[in-house]
């Protein structure tokens, strides 16, 4: 019997990277999975690869209407919700003195407001069902670790960490657990730009006690634990999945990102 056999999970940012790896693992472990992503073509393609236990849904986590429709589609297809994994996010780098307001706000909207909207509507559904559930948010080591050029991202992820704690405090009386995962430097499409900076990966690996970069599957395994019945008394926590890098000082190479800050970028 799989770790989430018979459960229904809703995963945002599910078309690639951590979200896709988690959808694949949850489906393998017996869950029905609603996969939400703004890339309609890709989420439909990856859901087809998983099979009939996966439902593709396209939309934008910054739109409350889209989030409401996401929940409605999930419940219409599978009858309920048990696990929400609020994983959608974006990044981008710029020095604080040259940071465009529009880009700053966009990162906050996706990485923080999007998590809030998902928590709001997922928790409504779980409260209505009256059987508890597990809500999981993707934060980052940057929830507590500052990094040059990442004012928006660090601020958003710090917000996710606190939003997780507040939500756990409020929703505990309904039997709903809320936790966050703080990935270290993980090889996903979102981190490709950082990995293109010469010396960056080597610096990260050198500072990581386990001596390698993260894989999406590493994060998916923590999401599986938090979504399953193996963690019934775990709530309000931020779990770093980072190869141990947060017990070390980040190396000078971490700020090799600084060399790329002035290159224009559009998300």
| Res 194 pLDDT > 90 | no
Q: What is the pTM of this model?
A: 0.93
Beta bridge partners of 86: 137
With beta carbons less than 8 A apart as the criterion, state whether 81 and 128 touch.
Answer: no
Q: Could you confirm whether 225 is annotated as catalytic?
A: no
Distance of CA 225 to the CA centre of its chain: 15
The three-state DSSP-derived secondary structure of the chain is CCCCCCCEEEEECCCCHHHHHHHHHHHHCCCEEEEEECCHHHHHHHHHHHCCCEEEEECCCCCHHHHHHHHHHHHHHHCCCCEEEECCCCCCCECHHHCCHHHHHHHHHHHHHHHHHHHHHHHHHHHHHCCCEEEEEECCHHHCCCCCCEHHHHHHHHHHHHHHHHHHHHHHHHCEEEEEEEECCECCHHHHHHHHCCCHHHHHHHHCCCCCCECHHHHHHHHHHHHCCCCCCCCCCEEEECCCHHHCCCCHHHHHHHHHCCCCCCC
CATH H-level, domain 8-260: superfamily: NAD(P)-binding Rossmann-like Domain (3.40.50.720)
Rounded to an integer, the average pLDDT of 185-201 is 82
Q: Which of 28, 153, 225, 240 is catalytic?
A: 153
- What's residue 41's pLDDT? 98
Rounded to an integer, the average pLDDT of 133-158 is 96
- The domain locations on the chain are 8-260
- What's residue 166's pLDDT? 98
At 54-71, the pLDDT tens digits run 999 999 999 999 999 999
Rounded to an integer, the average pLDDT of 126-145 is 97
**Confidence label for 199 from pLDDT (cuts 50, 70 and 90):** confident
Rounded to an integer, the average pLDDT of 136-144 is 97
- What's residue 72's pLDDT? 98
At 79-122, the pLDDT tens digits run 999 999 999 999 988 999 999 999 999 999 999 999 999 999 99
């Amino acid at each position: 019997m799989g770790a989430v056999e018979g459960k229904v999970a809703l995963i945002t940012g599910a078309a690639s990277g951590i979200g896709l790896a988690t959808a694949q693992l949850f489906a393998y472990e017996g869950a029905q999975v609603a996969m939400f992503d703004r890339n309609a073509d890709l989420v439909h393609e990856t859901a087809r690869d998983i099979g009939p236990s996966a439902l593709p849904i396209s939309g934008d986590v910054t739109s409350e209407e889209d989030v409401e429709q996401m929940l409605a589609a999930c419940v219409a297809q599978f009858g309920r919700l048990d696990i929400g994994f609020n994983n959608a996010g974006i990044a981008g780098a710029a020095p604080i003195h040259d940071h465009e307001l529009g880009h700053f706000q966009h990162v906050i909207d996706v990485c923080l407001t999007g998590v809030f909207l998902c928590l709001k509507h997922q928790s409504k559904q779980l409260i209505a069902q009256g059987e508890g559930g597990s809500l999981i948010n993707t934060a980052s080591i940057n929830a507590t670790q500052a990094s040059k050029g990442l004012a928006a991202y660090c601020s958003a992820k710090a917000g996710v960490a606190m939003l997780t704690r507040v939500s756990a405090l409020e929703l505990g009386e309904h039997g709903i657990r809320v936790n966050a995962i703080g990935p270290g430097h993980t090889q996903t499409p979102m981190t490709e730009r950082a990995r293109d900076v010469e010396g960056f990966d080597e610096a990260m690996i050198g500072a990581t006690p386990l001596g390698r970069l993260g894989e999406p599957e590493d994060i998916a395994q923590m999401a599986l634990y938090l979504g399953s019945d193996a963690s019934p008394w775990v709530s309000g926590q931020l779990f770093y999945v980072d190869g141990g890098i947060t017990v070390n000082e980040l190396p000078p190479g971490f700020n090799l990102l600084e060399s790329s800050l002035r290159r224009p970028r559009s998300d």
